[in-house]
Amino acid sequence: MADRAIVLFAHGARDPAWAEPFKRIKCLLQARQPGIAVELAFLEIMQPSLADAIATLARAGHASIAIAPLFMAQGGHLKNDLPKILDEIRARHHGVELKLLPAVGDVEPVLDAIAGWLVGAMAR
């Protein structure tokens, strides 16, 4: 069965408005796939943490959960911090399969959408 639960994982910031794009992506995703369970989670400052978001979905009975790192690029946060966080989560949720998706900056159609937007923005 395809995953029906996903966590949108972002960095976090002090300004509450910072989270708006991630809430918007959650809405767009649920509009395309109404039955899906979507949680936001943050590495720093904002709540919930990734561990809390996974726990919420696991309690709701999801045995397979996708994690989408909504970072523009892969630096220390995704290469060093995230694997440790995932190890801790896996130790707590043995029956749950966690499927880590690539970072936004590694997804060619998204980079192409950015390039297309830039061409349009410069023509205006």
Residue 36 makes contact with a second copy by CB under 8 A:
yes
Which residue lies nearer to a second copy by CB, 91 or 122? 122
Rule CB under 8 A: say whether 44 interacts with a second copy: no
In the complex, least distance from residue 95 CB atom to a second copy, rounded to whole angstroms: 19
Q: Which CB atom, from 1 or from 91, has the smaller least distance to a second copy?
A: 1
Quickly list DSSP for the chain: ----EEEEEE---SSGGGGHHHHHHHHHHHHHSTT-EEEEEESSSSSS-HHHHHHHHHHTT-SEEEEEE--SS-SHIIIIIHHHHHHHHHHH-TT-EEEEPPPGGG-HHHHHHHHHHHHHHHH-
Of 5 and 91, which CB lies nearer to a second copy in the complex structure? 5
Binding positions for a second copy, rule: CB under 8 A? 2-4, 6, 10-11, 13-15, 17-22, 24-25, 28-29, 31-33, 36, 66, 68, 70-76, 79, 101, 103-119, 121-124
